[in-house]
Amino acid sequence: MSEDHDPSDVTATPGPGRRPGPEEGGKWLTTGVGSVSVTSFLSDSGHEIATAVLPSFVTSVLHGSAASLGLIEGVSDALTGVMKLVGGPLANDPRRRRRMVTGGYLGTAIATAAIGLATAVWQVGVLRALAWSSRGLRSPAKDTLLASLVPRHAFGRAYGLERAGDNLGAVVGPLAAAGLVAWLGIRPAIWLSFVPGVLAAVTITVAAREARRRHADGNRVPIRLRFAGLWDAGLLRPMLPILLFEFGNVAVTLLILRATQLLQANGHSATAAASLAILIYAAHNAVGAVVAYAGGHWIDRAGPRVVFAAGSALYVLAYAGFAVGSQSWWVLLLFFSLAGAGIGCAETAESALVAQLLPDRLRGSGFGILGAVQACGDVAATVAVGILYTAVSPTAGFLYAAGWMLLSVLGAVALASGRRTDSAAPGRPRKS
């Protein structure tokens, strides 16, 4: 029997009086799908407010060091990856995933806003770790919940809309932070990050209720990673190009650092260079939002692997530009835009690929593994490029990252030209 028609799959067995499930067709842009996208926008806006002012809060208000800030961020990012892997098997169960998304968004909002109450650097570290752990735990549940609300032929559009919301939040958050700090100060700005964060916890309940109306819960799904099932479903081979991509996906802070230094070399003051670099970064996120939405439509026509390869190729061009360097702000804007377009394509394609390959009862585990690969690869990439950037040169660091992205393109093309094991073509179910 095909895994897509397993009796335990809540998306495959409609009950009396229920709406058609996502495997049965129907419109894709429902209230629930829209609420997931709004949730991503609100949540990202909230924690980006805190992230934007965190360096000043730790170093200027609490008199901590840059090293302590780096330790806080490094530990928090690592915990996010670990908790995504932990949250994956939990999200396989429909009832549990609905509770996880609501609790996860609320937990992130509370812990993030509480950073503004900290009086010591170690307290910031603990609260940031709690916020990012909650963020990681809820992530597979949110992605799996979205897949349960969408027809199979529209996974790309749904995840593109969700990624667009997330990227728009990354535009609004830093801009709001700048205004709040100028108006109220650093601590109040962090406290007010609670407002969009708690609104995100409210809006995600709309999607959870729609999922409950659409699908009968059935028997509880055991809490297991179910590695054998993921292997049989063909998930692990497509993970290779994704892993290669993440080994080259450096933290955007290094891009901002590169832009700031180049702008200073062009005669801008340190303050002017930093401000201009942040504005260019906001444009990067805006481009990412637009491309994620457009890329989602492209995925539903051409399949996720083609779009993923395009995203990797855009990063090769962007990193090559950062390696060469330019002191002109509009050229730097072009490089940032290429990177924004690359992440818009790649992240949307990664999520759509996992959703297409796996039945509902395995999607939580699949998204958990994807999240862990993303987090671990990003940490490895940022550390390696940071060391090369400092010890050798910025050019060496970005050429290193571009090399991984090129390998990712080649890996994606090689897999796409081989025997297809997923349902990349719209309407073509995977056979067991």
Q: Does some domain include residue 117?
A: yes
| pTM of the entire predicted model | 0.85
pLDDT recorded at residue 76: 86
Which residue in 143, 307, 305 sits closest to 240, CA to CA?
A: 305
Q: Does some domain include residue 259?
A: yes
Length of the chain: 432
What CA–CA distance (Å, rounded) separates 160 from 345? 8
What CA–CA distance (Å, rounded) separates 119 from 108? 20
What CA–CA distance (Å, rounded) separates 169 from 163? 10
Q: Does some domain include residue 21?
A: no
pLDDT recorded at residue 44: 95
Residue 311 one-letter amino acid: G
Is residue 180 within 8 Å of 49, Cβ to Cβ? yes
Name 64's Cβ contacts closer than 8 Å, sequence gap at least 6: 58, 121, 124
Is residue 84 within 8 Å of 136, Cβ to Cβ? yes
* CATH code of 144's domain: 1.20.1250.20
pLDDT recorded at residue 418: 63
Q: Is the dihedral of CA 177, 183, 189, 193 positive or negative?
A: negative
Is residue 350 within 8 Å of 357, Cβ to Cβ? no
Widest Cα–Cα separation across the chain: 70
**What is the residue-level pLDDT of the chain in tens, covering all 432 positions?**
333 444 334 444 344 344 444 444 568 999 999 999 999 999 999 998 998 888 888 888 898 886 788 788 878 888 998 999 999 999 998 888 989 999 999 999 999 999 999 999 999 999 999 999 999 999 999 999 999 999 999 999 999 999 999 999 999 998 898 889 889 998 999 999 999 999 999 999 999 999 988 876 555 666 666 777 788 878 888 899 999 999 999 888 888 888 888 998 888 887 788 778 888 988 999 999 999 999 999 999 999 999 999 999 999 999 999 999 888 889 999 999 999 999 999 999 999 999 999 998 899 999 999 999 998 888 888 889 989 988 999 999 999 999 999 999 999 988 877 644 444 444 444 433
Cα–chain center distance at 171 = 15
Q: Does some domain include residue 269?
A: yes
What CA–CA distance (Å, rounded) separates 262 from 297? 36
pLDDT recorded at residue 283: 92
What CA–CA distance (Å, rounded) separates 170 from 102? 21
What CA–CA distance (Å, rounded) separates 307 from 317? 16
Structure tokens at 160: 């593109």
* CB atoms closer than 10 angstroms to residue 18: 12
* CB atoms closer than 10 angstroms to residue 220: 11
Which residue in 125, 127, 87, 77 sits closest to 107, CA to CA?
A: 127
* CB atoms closer than 10 angstroms to residue 271: 8
Q: Does some domain include residue 26?
A: no
pLDDT recorded at residue 422: 45
Name 421's Cβ contacts closer than 8 Å, sequence gap at least 6: 234, 237, 238, 357, 430
* Number of compact structural domains in the chain: 1
pLDDT recorded at residue 86: 92
Question: Hey, is 380 helix, strand or coil?
Answer: helix
Residue ranges making up the domain that contains 111: 3-10+31-417
pLDDT recorded at residue 12: 40
Is residue 315 within 8 Å of 405, Cβ to Cβ? yes
Q: Roughly how many angstroms between the first and final C-alpha of the chain, as a whole number?
A: 7
Is residue 170 within 8 Å of 37, Cβ to Cβ? no
What CA–CA distance (Å, rounded) separates 296 from 352? 8
Q: Does some domain include residue 431?
A: no
Structure tokens at 312: 């990797």
Q: Does some domain include residue 211?
A: yes
pLDDT recorded at residue 67: 75
What CA–CA distance (Å, rounded) separates 218 from 92? 12
Q: Does some domain include residue 429?
A: no
